Structure 1
Amino acid sequence: MTHGANGFSRPRATVCGMEIWINPACSKCRSAVGLLDAEGADYTVRRYLEDVPSEDEIREVLTRLGLEPWDITRTQEAAAKELGLKDWPRDEASRARWVTALAEHPKLIQRPIITADDGTAVVGRTDEAVRDALSR
């Protein structure tokens, strides 16, 4: 759904430049959404556990973030421990394996991720990071 300062929801198909990937159960995600609303931002919400990003979408977000897949992986999650991610190499040759793991186990993706209007993205775990996305 797309949200704006007026509090009305619109279908996700509405085109706007900012998108936030959230888990509604996450307090950091709820805080980020609250700040976006308080600032009157126009953005699209993606509940990434339900609307799972493809490997291509994950690679695009990583490029926008300027990060590697292991940088946005929640290594304390049960799935990460089951996969033994802490022991996986963190190098170019292993990058595709990490991206596949994120696509197959979206709960491993750090949240919230905010894509900004200028083509960049931030992991919005702090108010400062969310404001950074708003300023782009």
Structure 2
Amino acid sequence: MAVEIFHNPRCSKSRQTLALLQEKGIDPDVTEYLTSPPTKERLTEILEMLHMQPRELMRKGESEYKDNNLGDPALSDDAVIKAMIDHPKLIERPIVITNGKARIGRPPESVLEIL
């Protein structure tokens, strides 16, 4: 079973989720999305797997959110996705993907639903 985690090593929830996977004997493919952001196509796939709209995956407390006026309801989904690709810090983390399903590791145990 291939498992991928969109990981930020500086985030405690991301580290906890990675440790949980490893405790379960899973050696996931780790994507440090801050240095290797997803493409538009990949982020769109992830949103579909999460059953989320782009704004729901956005970290609204980040300065990039405010600085780029991303709270503007007139922005299209494509514009929001582009903002997350341009500023990957805006993507909620961690995200675990396997078997065509995805979950956000908040709390970390929520990813166990798809394993």
* Fold match by TM threshold 0.5: yes
**What is the Cα-based RMSD across aligned positions, in Å?**
1.3
Equivalent position amino acid for 2:80 in 1: W
| Runs of 5+ consecutive residues of structure 2 not aligned to the other structure | none
Which stretch has the larger CA shift, 119-128 or 102-111?
Answer: 119-128
Residue 40 (structure 1) shift: 0.4
Please tell me whether Structure 1 or Structure 2 has the larger radius of gyration of its CA atoms. Answer: 1
Aligned to 2:83: 101
Give the TM-score of the pair, scaled to structure 1.
0.79
Spell out structure 1 runs of 4+ moving beyond 4 A. Answer: none
What whole-Å deviation, never above 9, does each CA across 1:66-101 have from its counterpart, x for those lacking one?
Answer: 1111010001100001011122347xxx11111111
Equivalent position amino acid for 1:42 in 2: D
Whether 1:56 and 2:41 are equivalent positions in the alignment is: yes
Equivalent residues of 2:17, 2:109 under 8 A apart: no
Give the one of 93, 102, 105 matched to 1:121: 102
What whole-Å deviation, never above 9, does each CA across 1:40-70 have from its counterpart, x for those lacking one?
Answer: 0131000000111111111011111111110
Q: Which has the higher contact order (CA 8 A, sep 6+)?
A: 2
Aligned to 2:10: 25
Equivalent residues of 2:4, 2:28 under 8 A apart: yes
Give the Cα separation in 1 of the matches to 2:40 and 2:23.
32
Give the TM-score of the pair, scaled to structure 2.
0.93
| Runs of 5+ consecutive residues of structure 1 not aligned to the other structure | 1-15
Aligned residue-pair number: 115
Equivalent position amino acid for 1:39 in 2: K
Residue 131 (structure 1) shift: 1.3
Give the Cα separation in 2 of the matches to 1:50 and 1:99.
17
Give the Cα separation in 1 of the matches to 2:108 and 2:37.
25
Equivalent position amino acid for 2:46 in 1: V
Whether 1:75 and 2:56 are equivalent positions in the alignment is: no
